[in-house]
Structures are given as structure tokens and as C-alpha cells.
Amino acid sequence: MSEQVVILGTGPAGYTAAVYAARANLNPIVVEGDEPGGQLMLTTEVENFPGFPDGILGPDLMDAMKKQAERFGAKFVHGRATAVDMAQRPFRVTLDNGTTYESAALIISTGASAKMLDIPGEAEMVGHGVSTCATCDGFFFRNKRIIVVGGGDSAMEEATFLTRYASEVTIVHRRDTLRASKVMQDRAHKNPKIKWLMNTSPVEVINDNQRVTGLKVKHNDTGETEVLSTEGLFVSIGHQPNTAFLEGQVETNAVGYIITKPDSTATSVDGVFACGDVADPHYRQAITAAGSGCKAAMDVERWLEAHND
Ligand code: NAP
């Protein structure tokens, strides 16, 4: 049996698309992905989602969105899409557990994942001192020294958050100016536990075969290297859109974000729509993702009406 619409991914975009598609009686199938709830599941307080004057915990917000979609009949399935055949309609989606779905239309809301430094020692120490999520792992670094790599808002936010646990947090950034917004920079600069190492690039994660013991860095002005002693390394250098599984069938920009048509969530493939961070290199906020999820479901509804053959 072919579905009317399959939604891939469950951040604010996927959940909102599911609410709207379900209320439009499209009986959406929603593939949860590897990280059901998306990036907000890795966050504590969300203070900028309208409607919550006292803030709301990220996981609570995602849970509420899911329940709202379920209330209108959206069907959630475990698993991650590993392949999508867009050569003909209905489109065919294959999940990692072998299940396949055929669907007249698709909404891609697979979000973006944390980027890694790709330096020696990093991959094998993930979970043993290397982390991309302060909220998830900060607790394990009580009274320890930590390094945060990055100069954007995420790095400022993670470093500030980590001072709750760590004895000292050093921000290592490859340039001498930060990319982060002024307010986030100021907050980090005011924090006495945060130290700064600018114009410095990570070269290698040092470990004793069990856990991280240091980070080898290069000072970019002199070219000299140095090993900084640390027990934790938080990599906070941005995100990569989750589009590899599409294997080039949908047009993306140079770094993999899906390109949508102006004033629309339509992609280069007729019947395939994209919303949320996977198609948004600019805003990447929960509220903008939710808004684009609404648009995608409405675009699908209209597209299905026009292709009622
Ligand atoms: P970002 O703005 O792209 O910043 C990434 C940082 O990592 C940059 O400073 C970059 O250095 C550095 N970097 C990238 N690749 C690197 C590498 N291979 N080695 C070393 N350093 C590397 O990413 P983000 O901080 O995750 O923020 C993403 C978006 O979310 C932004 O629009 C941000 O404003 C938003 N955001 C907002 C909040 C908030 O308002 N509460 C919190 C988090 C994120 P360069 O500067 O040299 O390029």
C-alpha cells in the first residue's frame, strides 16, 4: 500500500509537519531517525520558543510536539532512512531495519549533526572524554579541566554551561576573532572559569588508551605546537546537514543543505519537500524549523490535491 506522505526526521520541523499533515487527514508516517526529537533532546532550557515565558526543557518541548501529532493520528516508526528511491513515484523509502515504505510525497526533515575535527585520536575517544554535547556529558566532568573548541555561539553556550561542573574551561579557537554574537561572547568573557586560547588549532587528541589526557594544539601565528593537559574535549564547531542518504538525488548547496524553491519547501524533485535545519544554513532555530515544517505539510497537501491521479 502506498502512503500519502512519509516524513523523515523528528525535530521541531518533522513534528510540526506531522501535526499539520495529520490534521489534514494525510495519515503521515513519521520515521523517527537515530535521534528521535533531534537536537533539542540534547538541550536543557529553551528560552526563545514563543509561548513559554518561563522557558521549557528541550526534551519536554519535543515530547509535547510528538504527543500533539499522535493525537491527530500521525504514526511514528522507529528507524532511520538509509535509502530513498526518487527515480519514480511512488517514492520508495528503505529503513535501516529493512522496512520499506512507498509514498506519493516525501517531507525531508532530517536535521543536521555535529561536525567533528577529524584529527588523530578524536574518533576513538568519543565517549571517553571527547563529546559534542555539553548538556549530555557535562555532568561527567565535575571538578575537571575541559577544553571547548570553536568560536561560534554554540562554543560560547557550551563553555558557559560547562563551568557549572568543570574547575576550568578553556576555549580554543582557530582565529583571533570570535564568530559568536556579542551577547554570547560577553557572557563567556564575564565568566571567571573560562580561559581563552585564540589563533590556535587542535592537532591531535592525546590519550592513555582509556581516556583523554591532553590536546595537542598549534599556535597559528608562530606555528609552534604544545600539548594542553585536559580531561575533556568538547567539539563545538557547527553542524553538517543529514543528506548523505539521499545520494545526490535532491539538489543541495556545496556543503549539503537541501535547496528549496523560493517561497516554498519544494525541492528539485517534484513531490519531495524539505524543512528544518536540513534545508536551512541560515537561521537553524527551533521556531524557524517548526514554521518550515508547517509550510512543508501545507505544500504537500496542495501538491497531493494537484496530483490526485
Ligand atoms: P558556527 O556559527 O558555524 O561556528 C562554528 C565555529 O567553529 C566557528 O567559530 C568556526 O571557526 C569553528 N570551526 C569550524 N570548523 C572548525 C574546524 N575544523 N576546526 C576548528 N574550528 C572550526 O556554528 P555554531 O556555533 O554551532 O552556530 C550555528 C548557528 O546556531 C549560528 O547561527 C548560531 O548563531 C546559532 N546558535 C545560537 C545559539 C543561541 O543564540 N542561544 C546557540 C547556539 C547556536 P571560524 O569562526 O574560524 O569559521
Q: What pLDDT, in 10s, does the model give residues 13-37?
A: 999 999 999 999 999 999 999 889 9
Instruction: Give how far Cα 261 sits from Cα of 89, 128, 252, 282, Å.
Output: 20, 43, 11, 15
pLDDT tens by residue, 231-267 = 999 999 998 999 999 999 999 999 999 999 999 999 9
133 in catalytic set: yes
Quote the ligand 1 centre to 41 CA distance (angstroms): 19
Q: Over pLDDT 70: what percentage of the chain?
A: 99
3-state secondary structure of 136: helix
Per DSSP, what are the bridge partners of residue 266? 273
Q: What is the residue-averaged pLDDT of the chain?
A: 95
Instruction: Considering only the C-alpha atoms of the chain, give the largest distance between any 2 of them, rounded to a whole number of Å.
Output: 67
Q: Over pLDDT 90: what percentage of the chain?
A: 87
Q: What are phi and psi of 212, to 5 degrees?
A: -70, 135
pLDDT tens by residue, 163-220 = 999 999 999 999 999 999 999 999 999 999 999 999 999 999 999 999 999 999 999 9
208 in catalytic set: no
Quote the ligand 1 centre to 155 CA distance (angstroms): 7
For residue 236, the model assigns a pLDDT of 96
Cell digits for 30?
A: 513519521
Q: How confident is the model at residue 309 (pLDDT cuts 50, 70, 90)?
A: low
pTM beyond 0.75: the answer is yes
More reliable by pLDDT, 285 or 26: 26
Q: How confident is the model at residue 308 (pLDDT cuts 50, 70, 90)?
A: confident
For residue 281, the model assigns a pLDDT of 86
294 in catalytic set: no
Using the predicted structure, report yes or no on whether residue 43 has a pLDDT greater than 80. no
Using the predicted structure, report yes or no on whether residue 136 has a pLDDT greater than 80. no
CA distance 213 to 224: 20
CB 215 within 8 A of CB 230: yes
CA distance 309 to 100: 23
Q: Among 136, 176, 186, 221, which one carries the catalytic annotation?
A: 136
Q: Among 63, 85, 96, 133, which one carries the catalytic annotation?
A: 133
Quote the ligand 1 centre to 1 CA distance (angstroms): 44
Ligand 1 within 6 A of 150 CB?
yes
Angle (CA) 270 6 83, round 5°: 80
Residue closest via CA to ligand 1's atom 36 equals 153
